[in-house]
Each structure stands twice: as C-alpha cells, then as structure tokens.
Amino acid sequence: MQNIPHIPVLYREVIATFENIQEGIIIDCTMGYGGHSSMLLDANPNIKLIAIDQDQTAIDFSRKRLEKYGKRVEIRKGRFSDVIKDVLHEFDAKEIKGLLADIGVSSLQLDQKERGFSYESENLDMRMDKDAPLSASQVVNEYAKAELEKILLEYGELRNYKKIAAEIVNNRPFTSAKELSETLKLHLPKGKKIHPATLLMQAIRIEVNDELGELKSLLKSIESAKLPNAKIAIISFHSLEDRIVKKTFAKWAKSCICPPEAIRCSCGNNHQLGKVITKKPIMVQSDELKENARSRSAKMRVFQMAVEE
Ligand SMILES: C[S@@+](CC[C@H](N)C(=O)[O-])C[C@H]1O[C@@H](n2cnc3c(N)ncnc32)[C@H](O)[C@@H]1O
C-alpha cells in the first residue's frame, strides 16, 4: 500500500454528487494523488474515468494507485484547458456523465520543498508542470513593478501590495522563496491561522500556473460542448476562483442572454444549459476540518446540465 500524500477534500460530498452513475465517462480534471478518482471508480463500478494532471510526480504516483482499475482508467498528462479539448473531440458529449475539478495545489506539491511552493523552499520554482516555461523566479526577478502590484493585489489580496512590490523590486534578484519571505517579513500580514508569507506565495503560484486562465478556459470548453445530462462539480480554494464559477453557473442557468439594458429579448430565449444545484457553495464539515486543516477554504459548486431533447 502506498502512503497517500494528499487527503481528498469534501470526499463525502464529491461521492454524493456523482453517485449512481450507471455507465459512461467521468472526467477528473485534477487527478493529483488519485483520491477522488479512486473513490469515483469504487462508487460507480461501470464507469470509465479519464484523469488529467500536469504534474509528472502525481501521474507516476496515481498510475500505480489506479492500476487495479485496469482499462477503466485513462490518465492524460497536460493542462486541463488543453486536454479537455482533445477529450471532448474524441468522445461523444453524451457519453460524459460527470466532470470534477479540484483546483489548486496538492499537499505533496506544498510539502516537497524542492518544488518551490513553500515559503521555506530553497528555490523559486512553483511550476506544477516542471517543463512549463514560466517559473516563480521569472515572475519575482523579471516582472515590472506594476505587474507585481497587480498580482499581489488580485491573487494575494494583500493590502500593502504597493510596498511589497517595491521591496521586491528594490531587493532582487532572489534565489529562493525562503530568502523572499525572510526579506519581506516586516511587510507581510501577521495572521493567526496562516504564515505571513502564505498569501504572497499563493499570488505568485497563481500567476506561474495561470490558474484563473485555466479555470476560465475549462468552463468555456464545457459551455461549448454542453454535455447533456452531465454533472459539473468545481472545488476552489480562492475567492476569485469561486466568483468565476458562481458567475459562470448563474449565466448557464439563464435562458435569455440579452444585455440587461435590452428592452425586448432578441436572443431566442433558449440558452439555458441546465440548473445550479448548489445555491450556496458546499463547504467542509467540522470533522473533516479537524482531519485536514488545508480543507478550510474549499468551496464546491455543482451544475446539472439539462437532458438533451
Ligand atoms: C488539489 S490537487 C487534486 C487532488 C486530487 N483531487 C486527489 O484527490 O488526490 C490538484 C491537482 O491538480 C493539478 N492541476 C492543477 N491545475 C491543473 C491544470 N490546469 N491542469 C492539469 N492539472 C492541474 C495539480 O498538479 C494537482 O496535482
């Protein structure tokens, strides 16, 4: 038995969302260490699972973990924004019964200091895909001050983003996340629950991996494919991501897509893709929070695509 380095978040709620699927395909866009993937395969013995990840370490681990399911699992390496297009091209949309995305980093990515995601890391990397062209070093050492300010404000929600950006520019080059967080220590927020450098690391990580761009692109592909009768579940850990999911699902649930200022409907009033199942996001229960402190900010939203007529 392998040691499992990541506890799947909202596991009961994910299983309940995708229960009783008799046949067809579920796509796990963020396979990670295969936690949700294996639960979905166990809970739905006749489905096939397509599991995507861009991290080779996660793929190597999960290939072994999911081996026992044989041909029921297909693992694809790449960014889900790209891979999803191929999958939707290859399979009939009607075959796809569910899609899960558990956005963000895994515990192992955070814990393996050499990956650069931790404020204690001795390097500045943070790439989920080690072959990706942009690393944290380029963001920190090469981005213009205005670009850094934007990232720190939007992705890190750091109030003194201007001061932090100025300190980065004045003190660079940096060679490690440790050096960066030590140097900026005086200017970072002193939270009770999280380390002062957590939001700074989060902001840089989101930029390096284009996490918001990835999410938007995934939602766009789902919208174009329509996926009749499928359930779409997205778990996010950042308010900006949750806002994107909430707004997109609300748009999908609308029949009329005319601009609000239009006096008369001219769009055909037939654009509704389905309905939002979660009026409010699903969050972890207290027992799960005790087991897994990192799950505290997880929010899951679920959309049910309409049955094709
Ligand atoms: C939070 S973990 C998922 C954990 C997984 N649900 C489990 O139970 O083990 C997120 C995983 O998604 C991957 N990932 C994040 N964004 C991705 C993207 N845009 N394309 C492909 N993989 C991505 C990360 O490499 C990481 O392994």
pLDDT digits (tens, 9 = 90+) for 39-91: 999 999 999 999 999 999 999 999 999 999 999 999 999 999 999 999 999 99
Asked if residues 174 and 120 have their Cβ atoms less than 8 Å apart, the reply is no
> For the CA atoms of the chain, what is the radius of gyration?
20
Torsion of CA 152, 141, 217, 11, to 10 degrees: -70
Question: Which atom number of ligand 1 is nearest to the Cα of residue 34?
Answer: 9
Rounded Cα gap, residues 3 and 220, in angstroms: 36
Is the per-residue pLDDT at 142 higher than 60?
Answer: yes
Asked if residues 276 and 250 have their Cβ atoms less than 8 Å apart, the reply is yes
Provide the pLDDT for residue 253: 97
Q: How far is the CA of 207 from the centre of ligand 1 (A)?
A: 16
Ligand 1 within 6 A of 102 CB?
A: yes
Provide the pLDDT for residue 234: 98
CATH number of 133-208: 1.10.150.170
Q: For helices 239-252 and 211-225, give the axis angle rounded to 10 degrees.
A: 10
User: CB atoms < 10 A from the CB of 36, how many?
Assistant: 28
Please report, for the chain, the start and end positions of each structural domain, with discontinuous segments joined by +.
11-108+211-305, 133-208
Strands of the sheet with 48-53, listed across from one edge? 73-77, 48-53, 25-28, 96-102, 231-236, 299-305, 274-276
Q: How far is the CA of 102 from the centre of ligand 1 (A)?
A: 6
User: pLDDT tens, 263-284?
Assistant: 999 999 999 999 999 999 999 9
Provide the pLDDT for residue 2: 55
Better-predicted residue by pLDDT, 170 or 2: 170
pTM of the model: 0.94
Asked if residues 124 and 142 have their Cβ atoms less than 8 Å apart, the reply is no
Closest CA relative to residue 300, chosen from 15, 109, 95: 15
User: pLDDT tens, 3-49?
Assistant: 666 689 999 999 999 999 999 999 999 999 999 999 999 999 999 99
Question: Which atom number of ligand 1 is nearest to the Cα of residue 62?
Answer: 9
Phi-psi bin for 209: left (phi > 0), alpha (psi -120 to 50), beta? Answer: alpha
Provide the pLDDT for residue 1: 43
Is the per-residue pLDDT at 156 higher than 60?
Answer: yes
Share above pLDDT 90 across residues of the chain, in percent, rounded to a whole number: 83
- Of 5-19, 137-151, 211-225, the range with the lowest mean pLDDT is 5-19
Q: Where are the beta strands (DSSP E) in the chain?
A: 25-28, 48-53, 73-77, 96-102, 231-236, 274-276, 299-305
User: pLDDT tens, 241-259?
Assistant: 999 999 999 999 999 989 8
Q: How many helices (H) and strands (E) does the chain have?
A: 13, 7
How much is the average pLDDT of 127-134? 96
Ligand 1 within 6 A of 128 CB?
A: yes
Provide the pLDDT for residue 225: 94
CATH number of 11-108+211-305: 3.40.50.150
- H/E element, 147: helix 145-154
Secondary structure (3-state) at 102: strand
Confidence of residue 309 (pLDDT cuts 50, 70, 90): low
Q: What is the mean pLDDT of the chain?
A: 94
How much is the average pLDDT of 223-238? 95
Closest CA relative to residue 22, chosen from 44, 50, 38: 44
- Enter the tokens of residue 63: 């290939």
Ligand 1 within 6 A of 32 CB?
A: yes
Is the per-residue pLDDT at 306 higher than 60?
Answer: yes
How much is the average pLDDT of 115-134? 95
Length of the chain as a residue count: 309
